[in-house]
Amino acid sequence: MTEDIDARFSRRKFIQGIVAAGTVASSSAYLFRSATVHGQPQAGAVERLVTLRVNGQDRRVDLMPQDTLAMVLRYKLGLTGTKLGCDRAECGACTVLIDDVPHYSCSVLAHRARGKNIVTIEGLADPASGKLHAVQQGVVDEQGFQCAFCMSGFVMATVGYLKTNPNPTRQELAHGISGNLCRCQDYDKILTAMMRGAELSRG
C-alpha cells in the first residue's frame, strides 16, 4: 500500500499533477467542500476522493495532490486543534501522530497519510466518557502552558515519545520533544506538565 502510494505520487508526478490541474485544482484547495461548489468540474481536473483514518474514524475527503496534512485537517476536516505556527517544519505546533510516530503535519502531503492511522489532539480524550488522556491530564494538573498555541504539538509529541520511552528522565523527555517550540518560553513548566503526564500514563 505504502509503496503503491509512493509510486503514484512521486515528486515528478506531483508537479505534473499541479500543472495539469491548473486553476481548478487550486480553486478547491484549503476548502472543506468538493470542487463542484465553485462551479462545474472541468476536464483535466484532478479530483481524488480518498479516505483518511483520523482519530479512529474513516473520513472521506477530496484531496488535491499539493494538500498538506495540516491544511486538510484544519480546512477540510474541521480539526482546528492542530495549529499552523510556521508552516515550514520549524515550530512543531502542527505535530500529529501518524501510526504512533509524531510528524509535522505541515510537511506531510495528505496523500502520504492514506492507509495510516492519524491521531490529532481532538482524538486523545476518550470519545465515550470524555476522560482526558494522561498527558492532557498532566497539563491540567500542572497548569502547563500560557497562550497554548504550541500546546497540541507538545502534547502530541509527548504522547508519541512516551510510546518509545514510557519512563523517561526529565532530560530524556526534554530531548524527545525538542522539535517543538514555545514562544512564551514556558519550557520548564511544560516539561513539568509532560513529566506528570508520563507519570499518569504509567498508571
Partner 1 sequence: MTNKLIGQNYTTPDLVAKVTGQAKYAEDYRVDGMLFCKLLLSPYPHARVKRIDASRALAIPGVKGILTADELPAPADVVTDLGQRLAANTKGEKALTDEPVYQGEPVLALAAVDELTASDAIEKIEIEWEPLPFAVDPLVSLRPDGPNARLEGNIWGRPKPPVQGQPVAPPAIEELKWTAADFAEYDQGRLPMGKTPDEWTYGDVDAGFRTAALVLDETFVTPNTSHQTLEPRSAMAYWQNGKLYIHCSTQSTVQTVGSVARWLHLDQKDIVLISAYTGGGFGSKATGTISSIIPALLSKKLNAPVMMRIDRETEHYIGGARPAMHGRLKVGFAKDGRITAIDMFVVNENGPYEPVGDTAQSGRQVSLLFQPPAMRWRGVSVLTNTPPRRAQSQPGGMQGITLIEPIIAKASRKLGVDQVAIHRINAPEGQAKFGPANPRGERAFATSSFIKQALDRGAEQFRWNERKAMGGKRQGSKVRGYGVATSSFVAGSTGYDGLFVIKPDGRM
Of residues 58-87, those binding partner 1 (CB under 8 A):
66, 74-75, 78-87
Beta carbon of residue 28, minimum distance to partner 1 (angstroms, whole number): 7
Beta carbon of residue 56, minimum distance to partner 1 (angstroms, whole number): 15
Element spanning 63, H or E: strand 57-63
Q: Confirm or reject binding of residue 158 to partner 1 (CB under 8 A).
A: no
**Alpha-carbon gap, residue 25 to 135, rounded angstroms:** 39
- Considering the complex, state which of residue 3 and residue 126 has its C-beta at the smaller distance from partner 1: 126
- Considering the complex, state which of residue 15 and residue 140 has its C-beta at the smaller distance from partner 1: 140
Q: Confirm or reject binding of residue 190 to partner 1 (CB under 8 A).
A: no
* Alpha helices (H) along the chain: 2-8, 11-27, 69-71, 134-142, 151-164, 170-176, 187-201
If binding means CB under 8 A, how many residues of this protein chain bind partner 1? 50
Residue pointed to by grid coordinates 517550540: 181
Cβ within 8 Å of residue 97, ≥6 positions away: 103, 117, 118, 119, 156, 159, 160
Mask for 32-51, x = binds partner 1 (CB under 8 A): x-----xx------------
Of residues 95-114, those binding partner 1 (CB under 8 A):
none
Is there a contact between 84 and 70 (Cβ–Cβ < 8 Å)?
Answer: yes
Residue pointed to by grid coordinates 484531496: 63
Of residues 10-29, those binding partner 1 (CB under 8 A):
23, 25-29
**Alpha-carbon gap, residue 35 to 80, rounded angstroms:** 21
Is there a contact between 181 and 85 (Cβ–Cβ < 8 Å)?
Answer: yes
Q: Confirm or reject binding of residue 184 to partner 1 (CB under 8 A).
A: yes
Residues near partner 1 (CB under 8 A) are 23, 25-32, 38-39, 66, 74-75, 78-88, 91, 93, 120-122, 124-125, 132, 136, 139-140, 143, 145-152, 155, 181-184
